[in-house]
Amino acid sequence: MGTVFNLTINDRQVEAQEGMTILEAARSADIYIPTLCSHPLLKPLGACRLCVVEITDGGRSLMGASCTYPVAAGLDVKTDSPAVIEARKVLIELLLARTPKARIVQRLAQEYGVANSRLRVADPGELCILCGLCVRMCDEVVGANAINFVNRGTNREVVFHPEVSAEACVGCGVCTTLCPTECLEIEKPYGVVAAVDMGRKAAVAIDKYLGGAGAIGEELIEYENPSPRIGKVPGFADRPRSLEPCTLDAAPSGAAIGEAGRCLQCDLRLQLAAVKAPPEHYHAFNAENVRQTPEEAGVIQLLDGDKMVVAIRGVMNIRQELEREVAKNENARWFEWEADEMFTKRESELIQQYLQKYGKMPGGGMDELDDLF
């Protein structure tokens, strides 16, 4: 066991093992820092800079990427100081200009109150934020190295090398699962995973047909945590790959048997952690929670049971308005509020963000748009 360091994060004492990064130390203490290019299975890259924090290290203050900065005794870290928030807003503006439709970017923009980017959007359909998760996962963990960055600067992009991927890609689908912006697609079939999934569905159906409850999760052997590092399997890429969809609705075809033979049983997908979205601030919409809100001007948002926004409203008195709504609004199940004296401006920002994301007004109607004008 290595040395344990004591450091301070957001005025809290946190213990961290030598070798951990500030990000890992913060996560171990349940402190949220946004990230886009970090993954526990991968070496840190420091590409997105979103994990920036303010660090005081031996009397020296600096802004640094928490995913690459190693912990040390006595570090004083602020994850959400005004300087950090400002830096993240600029980064989110850059991301919004590159990938305006990426859902995770929109979520971060909403979280940090960034309504628009001042920069020109070069390609409104672009979804890749160049985080490199797919490239590194394919190389460092899968060991296939089938996907890579090409070009530099604004032309930089991720591609499956046409002549290389056909040989090197093992079709595991890990890159598509991991991509935080859901922009990767592998040509169907990406065999084994789909086949296993269908196999599970078939097993559930068979169990139910035989009178069971369809519960196929029962563990008959002791489960060991598999190593995610499957590495390269000699000759694996040369095994013939089925280019036809394999179905399990009849006796297994030769192609299906071939595909099953290609399965590495790596369980890697089960270990992929998605990029952590900002924590939600919604409160259950009831009188007791409403009583905790301030009697100040601000913006309230009401959400239905699926956490879809049904109303965004700038109000003079947050508590009074919520009390009125809690008595009469039957659709709202959740709410959030922000105190803001410039509540009309904030209200329109939030409505614009909603419109951009869903192409309609909150709640589906046009009443609020009418109210606005």
Cβ-proximal residue to ligand FES, closest one: 67
What, of ligand FES, ligand SF4, none, does residue 7 touch, CB below 5 to 8 Å by kind?
Answer: none
- Nearer to ligand FES by Cβ, of 47 and 183: the residue is 47
| Alpha-carbon distances of 363 from 261, 300, 366, rounded to whole Å | 50, 14, 9
Cβ at position 34, least distance to ligand FES in Å: 8
Cβ at position 207, least distance to ligand SF4 in Å: 31
Residue 187: partners with Cβ closer than 8 Å, 6 or more residues away: none
Query: Any contact of residue 51 with ligand FES (CB under 6 A)?
Result: yes
Among 38, 79, 165, 293, binds ligand FES (CB under 6 A): 38
Among 183, 263, 264, 277, binds ligand SF4 (CB under 6 A): 183
What, of ligand SF4, ligand FES, none, does residue 46 touch, CB below 5 to 8 Å by kind?
Answer: ligand FES
Query: Any contact of residue 133 with ligand SF4 (CB under 6 A)?
Result: yes
- Nearer to ligand SF4 by Cβ, of 100 and 173: the residue is 173
CB atoms within 10 A of CB 285: 20
CA torsion 173-174-180-183 (nearest 10°) is: -30
Locus of tokens 């296939």: 144
Cβ at position 283, least distance to ligand FES in Å: 29
Residue 104: partners with Cβ closer than 8 Å, 6 or more residues away: 36, 180, 181, 275, 277
283-284 vs 334-339, strand pairing mode = antiparallel
Residue 62: partners with Cβ closer than 8 Å, 6 or more residues away: 54, 55
60-65 vs 52-57, strand pairing mode = antiparallel
Could you say which residues in the range 64-83 bind ligand FES, by CB under 6 A?
65, 67
SS3 of 210, please?
A: coil
Q: Which stretch binds ligand SF4 (CB under 6 A): 141-149, 304-312, 352-360, 361-369?
A: 141-149
Sign of CA dihedral 257, 258, 259, 264: positive
Cβ at position 109, least distance to ligand FES in Å: 17
Query: Any contact of residue 7 with ligand SF4 (CB under 6 A)?
Result: no
Q: Which stretch binds ligand SF4 (CB under 6 A): 86-94, 174-182, 259-267, 360-368?
A: 174-182
Cβ at position 207, least distance to ligand FES in Å: 42
Among 42, 47, 90, 277, binds ligand FES (CB under 6 A): 47
What b/e sequence results for 74-113 when a residue is b if at least 16 CB atoms lie within 10 Å of its CB, and e otherwise?
Answer: ebebbbeeeebeebbeebbbbbbbbbbbbebbbebbbbbe
Binding site for ligand FES (CB under 6 A): 35-38, 46-51, 65, 67
